[in-house]
Amino acid sequence: MNAAVRTEGLIKEFGTFRALDELSLEVQPGAVFGFLGPNGAGKTTTIRILTGLAHATRGKAWVAGMEVTGNGGDTAKRIGYLPEEPTFYGWLTPTEYLDHVARVFGLPATERSARVKELLGLVGLAEASRRRIGGFSHGMRQRMGLAQALVNRPEVLFLDEPVSALDPAGRKEVLELIEQMQGKCTVFMSTHILGDVERVCDSVGIINRGKMVTIGPRQELLERYAVPAIEIAVEPVHKERQASWADGLRSLSWVKSTVLDEAVLRVVVSDLETAKVQLLASALQAGLVLERYEVVRPSLEDVFLQLVSQPVQTAPGQTSPEGRPQ
């Protein structure tokens, strides 16, 4: 199966600063891919190259089977793009604006009308179809942006920080729309919000300082990198006894670390099965009265923090990461 998005050794330089450093990745057709990284990691630069809005210094990239670097073909009719801050003609209504976009893509009149109505229903703007876009809230504008990105039924949909500036209600609405895209087209979503990726993405790539740190199915990354842990909460009157018990746990071969926060102890372990058998018994033997005993589900945040905290090698003559373009 050919990848929907692929890059090989992608480099983008701004003077002496290298924003992308031999970035290689593959995204399979139909996936919702989370392109995750800190602010300034190179996410927007990557998307601009993949959508044809910027040129790579070196390296190659393909989208929907077409090369987008060098003198590659025009992919505009096969992709959709929602920038972080979409802009519109504020005096137009959603119906008028989407009809205009459909005309640009060459849709015939009968198909334009049906497609516009379909998209307004999909993004929840049918009732606002005759209002001026200039009066829309931020969340409505993001949904409008998603609708325009879908007009041409793209094979690959690029979303650049689609929910970062939204309130919780608006973020929930847009994420639900992105979930509906799974299997219908390939979604390439850049973000620095870990919870959003964990919710909607089935595969993840983590970029840091222009380098691809890791890439793969979300669950595979969790299993590979996330550290198993158990959290134990005790009654507040037993906090001192719990602290003494936690100190003793550090000598056990299967305990990697213990972190005590108020009356909640997080025990990071190397052997979860052994911990399940011995830890609870040890707590009871120490006379602790437990309020909660929980095997903590590994999170993408654990993986992300573990990977981006590792030092990244910088090429000679490169500037520091502070203030670098994205």
Name the one residue in this structure whose structure tokens are 């099965």. 273
Give yes or no: residues 209 and 232 share one domain.
no
Do 249 and 156 share a structural domain?
Answer: no
Whether residues 143 and 209 fall in one domain: yes
78 and 118 share one domain = yes
Q: pLDDT class for 216, splitting at 50, 70, 90?
A: very high
Q: Which CATH number do you get for residue 234?
A: 3.30.70.100
- Kindly state whether residue 200 falls inside one of the protein's structural domains: yes
154 with 198, same domain: the answer is yes
For residue 303, being part of any structural domain is answered with: no
pLDDT digits (tens, 9 = 90+) for 161-191: 988 777 788 788 888 889 888 888 999 999 8
**158 & 282 share domain:** no
Per-residue pLDDT band for 269 (boundaries 50, 70, 90) equals confident
DSSP letter, residue 319: P
The whole-number average pLDDT for the span 37-44 is 90
Tokens of 245: 């018990």
CATH number at residue 98: 3.40.50.300
Residues 150 and 252 in one domain: no
- H or E element, residue 104: helix 94-104
For residue 263, what are the domain limits?
227-297
Q: Does residue 313 lie in a domain region?
A: no
**DSSP notation for 51-103:** TTSS--SEEEEEETTEE-STT----GGGEEEE-SS----TTS-HHHHHHHHHH
Q: What is the pLDDT of residues 109-142, one digit of tens each?
A: 889 999 999 999 988 899 999 999 999 988 889 8
User: Which of residues 216, 244, 269 is at a domain's end?
Assistant: 216
Residue 75 falls within a domain, yes or no? yes
Please tell me which residue, 204 or 171, carries the higher pLDDT value.
204
Tokens 């590792």 locate to 310
* 61 and 163 within one domain: yes
For 68-112, the pLDDT digits (tens) are 987 656 788 899 999 988 899 999 999 999 999 999 999 998 899
Whether 44 and 95 share a structural domain = yes
Q: Is residue 322 part of a domain?
A: no
Q: Report the C-alpha gap between 155 and 33 in whole angstroms.
A: 14
Is residue 325 in a domain?
no
DSSP tag of 185 = B
Cβ neighbours for 14, distance < 8 A, ≥ 6 positions apart: 324, 325
Residue 202 shares a structural domain with residue 287: no
Question: Does some domain include residue 273?
Answer: yes
Number of domains composing the chain: 2
Here the tokens at position 126 are: 């049918």
C-alpha distance from residue 242 to each of 143, 278, 281 (Å): 50, 16, 14
Last residue of a domain, one of 184, 216, 248: 216
Are 284 and 230 a contacting pair, CB within 8 Å? no
**Shared domain check, 263 and 196:** no
State residue 177's pLDDT score. Answer: 86
321 within some domain: no
Based on the fold, state whether residues 156 and 245 are members of the same structural domain. no
C-beta separation of 319 from 16 below 8 A: yes
**pLDDT recorded at residue 94:** 97
Torsion angle (degrees, nearest 10) of CA 179, 184, 188, 193: 0
Q: Give the predicted TM-score (pTM) of the model.
A: 0.78
pLDDT in tens, 146-162: 999 999 999 999 999 98
